[in-house]
Structures are given as structure tokens and as C-alpha cells.
Structure 1
Amino acid sequence: MNSVSNHPTTTSQPNNDLMQKLVGRRALLRNGTLVLAGAALTKHQLFSDETASEHAKSVRVGLITDLHYADKSPAGSRHYRETLDKLQAASQQFAADRPDFVVELGDLIDAADSVDVEQGYLKTINKQFSAICDDRHYVLGNHCVDTLTKEEFLGGVGQERSYYSFDREGIHFIVLDSCFRSDGEPYQRRNFQWTDPNVSAEEMEWLRGDLKSNSKPTVVFAHQRLDVSNHHGVKNCVDVRKALEESGNVKAVFQGHSHQNDLNEIGGIHYCTMAAMVEGSGPESNGYSVMDIQADGTIEIKGFVRQASYHWGV
């Protein structure tokens, strides 16, 4: 796991030996935060003007995942009702940073015993979430359609499709839906096992066509993980990764589902798993981030509370 905290430290400038080790690992320290770079850095680059990362951002994105909102008692480490307060804290940060759009990476709600109750959960959390930004994007998570159908969930948040793409300022964005069974049937109303997520054949055909028609730097949003083959991973993740790699334009994939910070680089693409908002009690257990994407594909993620911070160059 390549995850780091964004909490500031008081460490002094690293000595030459440490610097060489960090350069060898394609990493550096900036304001005490581990920064992962896309290429080995020189000593001059390591200690260059710390304001360089503030130059000319093309697109700013707010990211949250796995809120699992429900009006029910905690279960294990999941504190469902506290999501409302945690989301309020995130919304205050987003109000200051003013993202161009906000993405929720799946599992906005947790399961209810009935459709009516579930729709109440969705209405409550989406009222607060929709107040953050007019331009919002919802990735379908398995819990979003545990009680509801995809049409009911999408209708509740005002989103037309579960997978699609869009452009902002020269950057291409793709939203994926992995909530399909191995036989191609869509998840809905407890007709699935959460360990059997797949990108459907129809969606794969669409994805290949979308990637082929695009030459812009590309960022992908998903819920279930595309970088692992365990129970948190998409069953046909190898096929999905192959399509992403063959395009030559995909810079990063942002995903949730496993609730913890994680980072893998496969085939030249960063697969970044974000911290879940539902995990833990109190404001110190929150997690959300603001991402800046420059026109050349450079990506910088500023994480808050439990969410790690990262920087990837071109």
C-alpha cells in the first residue's frame, strides 16, 4: 500500500542520503507530505519553489466516496448517521476551494429494509450533497442498488446514465458502472453477490469506442476496484485495464469500495483508492479530497483528514 497522511510535520530538509533514496523511489517531501512523481527528480527539482504546484490549474474536482448514509445505529466501524456531519465538513472545504465539479465514487447510501425507507435515505443525503455543487457525478456502488433499482437510484439523484463520459477544459472524464453480475444482469434489489462485480459486455464495447475516439488526457471514476483480483476487485478487471492501457491517454483511475487509502501503478496508469467517509466516529475519521488536473495531465490530490495526498507528473 502506497498511502500517506496529509498532516503537516516539522521535519527538516532531508539529507543527501535520504534524498537519494526518495529520488530512487520517485518520491519527494513537500511541506512534509509525501509526493509521488511521474519521473525521477533532480536535487534542484526536489527543492524548487514550493508554489510551483499552484500554477495554472485546468480543472478542479471534489472527491468523496462510500458515505453509506442511513438512519440506523453503527455497525462495526461504520457510523452511518455521522455521514451527514462529515459531509457538511467536506462541503465547507469545497466551498473554499470551489471545484468545477464534484464526484461521489459510490455507496452514497446503505441498505434499508424497504424501498420507501431507502428512498428516504437517498433524499436526505442527496439534499445535502446536491447543495455543494451544481455539476455533480454519481458512480453506482453496490449498496446504491441493494434495495433500489438502478433507475430508481439514478432518478433520485437526477442522473440520466450509470456510465458515460464528458470533457472539461481539455480533459476527458469517464464514469464507469461495475454493478453487473457475471451473466450480464444488472444489480438490483438483492439479486447479486457483492463479490461478483463486472463491467458488462455492452459497456466494454462502449468504453473501447469512447477511448478510441478521444485523444485528450483521461481520468476514470469507478466504484469497485480495477487494480486487484480479490473480493474487492471487478471480475473482468484485466479486460478493463487492457482497454485503458491501449488508449495511451488514461492518466489515473479513482475508485472506492475497499474503504482504505491505496495506490497502485499498473501499465503506466495510477489506480488510486480513496478513504471511505463512513468509517470511524467523529470529525477525525472523515476523508475527502480536492484534485487539480492541469492541461498536460499533471494531477495533484490534496487529501483531508484520513485521505492521503498525491502528485503525479507527466
Structure 2
Amino acid sequence: MYAECVRSVMKNSNLKSIPMSTDSTQIQIGRRAFLQNGTLFLVTASTVGAAGTAKLYGADEKKLLRVGLVTDMHYADKSPRGSRHYRESLDKLSEAGAEFQKQPLDFLVELGDIIDAADSVETELSYLKTINKEFSQIAKDRHYVLGNHCVDTLTKEEFLGSVEQEKSYYSFDKGGYHFIVLDSCFRSDGTPYQRKNFKWTDPNVPKEELEWLAADLKQTRNRVIVFAHQRLDVSDNHGVKNAPEVRQLLEESGKVDLVFQGHSHKNDHKEIGGIHYCTLVAMVEGSGEENSGYSVLELSRESPIQIHGFRKQADYALK
């Protein structure tokens, strides 16, 4: 039935299917994406319409979970620099919160760099207090992934204490899924990032965390979704230096469906070793709410994993 809906829309709108590969696949805002038998289908939102979108996304099917996702807000009370409009992230987050409230979320995840660097600990804590006040009003159940900017001026203990989160990497179960939050803010020598003691191009998952990850994956019986900041699917400056080692653990478990990440500020999707790596667009880039980006992850028994993107964030439906 799902494939028939896609073929019907494709036929009526004269759209073409695009072969899917393991290379990066970027989808422009305003489109719906479907993966069927190794092919990525793009359907324009204007063609489908509100009622059609609801039907294609299985609005009547029993939902397991709805998860709000935002990343790279870089909030700071300072003037824009290049394409980054730091102050505007507060209003962009307010809009995202209003959208998230339309249907209840099971939990909310911030994928790193919620704040930008300040010249003092006191100023940085004030940035964090301001943006987290807005963020914390969206959902009671919240999770914060550490980004390099989160600990540019602060220590991990200072950041985590301010957002009332006990650990920087951990796991939890919800709705029949197992979720893992990773922390790649460590130097190659294992030293934790803090107070400008690192280069942003040297992120690593240390030995102790790798050992914990392997044990955590072994003990769960559920399908797994991972949340990270620095990317695990690339080897450039935005990638975790020992990403191949992390990916090997994820693949060997045979349990991981999807990894969400931020850091490079752009929409991107790769499939490596049977695992989807979905990079979400940054909220800080560009002026005005139209240049924002946020999404809702929807998990259902009857349909693919679905990411509903808003503003600049792309949509995905992933098997």
C-alpha cells in the first residue's frame, strides 16, 4: 500500500525516481522523501498537499514515539558573524517549540552546540541559562548531546550541571527502542574538551566510552538509535577521528538502525554498513525564521522511520 501511494503521486506529478547510493544524498526543503527497494523518491509538498501528506505518512497508524530534534543553535548575545545569526536562535527555537506543541513529544533532543563561545565563564553561563530556559519549556524529558562549543569556555561539569543532566554519554529505553547519547568531545590523547584546551578538528570517542558502548549494545534486545554531535560518517574536519572504530561496534551489534548528528550545519544522509547516518541542518545559519531548521522523528509499527523536517530541514522516510 505504501509503495502504491508513492507510485500514484509520482505518476500524477511527473516526478522521477532517483537511484539511492551510499554517497551523500541531500534533499531540498519542501520535499517528501521515500526509500523503496533501494530507490529514493522525492515528492513535492505542494503536489501532495496537507491531506495527502497525512495519508502518505500513515497518520492513522499506531505511533510508537515522536521525538523533537534540534541542533547547532549557537545561541549568544552577540552580533552576527558571517552566516551565523546568534541572537536569532532564541526566536527560531520559540517557533520550533510552538510546532512541537501541536502534537505531544515523547522526548526532545538537542544534538550539540546549543551555545556559542563567550569570553568568560560568567557570560557563557548566562547564554546557556537564556537559551535553556526556552528549550526546557518545550518538553520535560530532554537530552543534551555535548558539542565542541558547549565546552569551549565551560567544563563538562559546568555545562551538565546547568542543564541538569548527569552524564555526557549514556543510554535509555523508550517505546520499544534503545537510545544512545554519545560524547565525542575528547582529544586524541583522551583528555576531555574544556576551556579552549582543544582543536575542534580533533574529536574522539575515548577507549573507556568505546568499551561502555560495546557492553551497552550487547545487553539491549531493542533496535537502537544513536545521537551524536560530531559526524561518524565522514573523515574530514567534521568527522570523529576514530569514527571507523565506532562504526564497527555499531555494525557488529546488528541492532543499530539510525545515527543522528549535527556539527557540519547541513542536511546530509549516508547509508554505511546498513546504518543510516542523518546529519541535521543548523538552526543558527541565516537570518529570519525561514532560515531555521528542526525536525520530528516519528517511529511507527507500520511505516518506515520518518523524519519530518521544518524550514530548511529535509524530510526522510528510511527503511
So what's the TM-score if we normalise by structure 2? 0.87
Name the amino acid aligned to 1:58. L
RMSD: 2.4
SS of 1:302's equivalent in the other structure is strand
Please give the per-residue CA displacement for 1:66-122, whole angstroms capped at 9, x wherever unaligned: 000000000000000001100000000000021100000000000000000000000
Name the amino acid aligned to 1:308. A
* Residue 53 in structure 1 maps to residue 58 in structure 2: yes
Residue 13 of structure 1 and its aligned partner are, at CA, apart by 1.6
Distance 2:57 2:204 in 1: 40
Tell me, yes or no, if the aligned pair for 1:171 and 1:295 is still in contact at 8 Å: no
What is the aligned partner in structure 2 of residue 99 from structure 1? 105
Distance 1:108 1:52 in 2: 30
Name the amino acid aligned to 2:93. L
Question: How has the CA–CA distance of structure 1 residues 292 and 206 changed in structure 2, closer, same or farther, with 3 Å as cutoff?
Answer: same
Distance 2:191 2:303 in 1: 35
Residue 296 of structure 1 and its aligned partner are, at CA, apart by 7.3
Mapping for residues 189-208 of structure 1, pairs under 5 Å: 189-208=195-214
So what's the TM-score if we normalise by structure 1? 0.88
What is the aligned partner in structure 2 of residue 216 from structure 1? 222
Question: How has the CA–CA distance of structure 1 residues 270 and 70 changed in structure 2, closer, same or farther, with 3 Å as cutoff?
Answer: same
Residue 169 of structure 1 and its aligned partner are, at CA, apart by 1.1
Of 113, 119, 124, the residue aligned with 2:125 is 119
Structure 2 unaligned spans of 5+: 1-8, 40-51
Of 27, 33, 36, the residue aligned with 1:35 is 33
Name the amino acid aligned to 2:162. G
Of 54, 65, 73, the residue aligned with 1:67 is 73
Matched length = 293
* Residue 284 in structure 1 maps to residue 300 in structure 2: no
Please give the per-residue CA displacement for 1:260-292, whole angstroms capped at 9, x wherever unaligned: 000000001110000000000001101000110
Distance 2:57 2:119 in 1: 51
Name the amino acid aligned to 1:172. H
Percent identity reads 62
SS of 1:288's equivalent in the other structure is strand
Tell me, yes or no, if the aligned pair for 1:170 and 1:295 is still in contact at 8 Å: no
Structure 1 unaligned spans of 5+: 1-9, 42-46
Distance 1:141 1:242 in 2: 23
Name the amino acid aligned to 1:130. S
What is the aligned partner in structure 1 of residue 280 from structure 2? 274
Distance 1:192 1:310 in 2: 34
Distance 1:113 1:95 in 2: 35
Distance 1:123 1:295 in 2: 38
SS of 2:214's equivalent in the other structure is helix
Name the amino acid aligned to 1:50. K
SS of 2:101's equivalent in the other structure is helix
Distance 1:126 1:302 in 2: 23
Distance 2:202 2:166 in 1: 24
Residue 40 of structure 1 and its aligned partner are, at CA, apart by 4.7
Residue 12 of structure 1 and its aligned partner are, at CA, apart by 6.7
Distance 1:40 1:180 in 2: 36
Please give the per-residue CA displacement for 1:196-250, whole angstroms capped at 9, x wherever unaligned: 0000100000000000111211100000000000000000000000000011111
What is the aligned partner in structure 1 of residue 238 from structure 2? 232
Residue 193 of structure 1 and its aligned partner are, at CA, apart by 0.2
* Residue 300 in structure 1 maps to residue 299 in structure 2: no
Distance 1:34 1:93 in 2: 18
Tell me, yes or no, if the aligned pair for 2:115 and 2:127 is still in contact at 8 Å: yes
Residue 39 of structure 1 and its aligned partner are, at CA, apart by 2.8
Mapping for residues 138-149 of structure 1, pairs under 5 Å: 138-149=144-155
Name the amino acid aligned to 1:160. E
Tell me, yes or no, if the aligned pair for 1:217 and 1:296 is still in contact at 8 Å: no
Question: How has the CA–CA distance of structure 1 residues 201 and 52 changed in structure 2, closer, same or farther, with 3 Å as cutoff?
Answer: same
Name the amino acid aligned to 2:115. I
What is the aligned partner in structure 2 of residue 13 from structure 1? 12
